[in-house]
Amino acid sequence: MTAWMLRDEVAQRVAALEKSLTRLQAARLDAIVEIMADDGRFLLRDALDVGEFPAGDAPGQEAFQDFRKRVNQAAIDAHVELRLELDSRKTTPDQRYCWFTGGDPHRRRHRVVKQ
């Protein structure tokens, strides 16, 4: 089970992290924050589109996986409690959800998802 963060909290942490990212990574992350639903999740397909990842499901997902790793490592290095997550279902990007986690879930309102 994983608790995920809502848009306002993610936006604050992304702002704190942006100086540790490349321009492209920061632009992609900002665009992804903008498409987050009220519950804090977003479809992988939407992230691939707004982040202008390579066309095609396989290349886009590979590029997104690399992006996630780099963003998550930058957050660790910058001591920003933020992690970009993706569900583990092996299906098309239209049916896969992403979200952000970070910090103490008991100190904020959260949603819970089974992986």
Question: For residues 18 and 26, is the Cβ–Cβ distance under 8 A?
Answer: yes
Question: For each of the chain's 115 residues, which pLDDT tens digit applies?
Answer: 457 899 999 999 999 999 999 999 999 999 999 999 999 999 999 999 999 999 888 999 999 999 999 999 999 999 999 999 999 888 899 999 999 999 765 544 444 444 4
The DSSP secondary-structure symbol of 110 reads -
pLDDT of residue 90: 87
Q: Which structure tokens are listed for 87?
A: 């569900």
Question: For residues 74 and 82, is the Cβ–Cβ distance under 8 A?
Answer: no
Q: Is CATH 1.25.40 correct for 2-105? A: no
CA separation for the pair 77, 95 (Å, rounded): 31
For the chain, first and last CA: distance in Å?
Answer: 6
Q: What is the pTM of this model?
A: 0.86
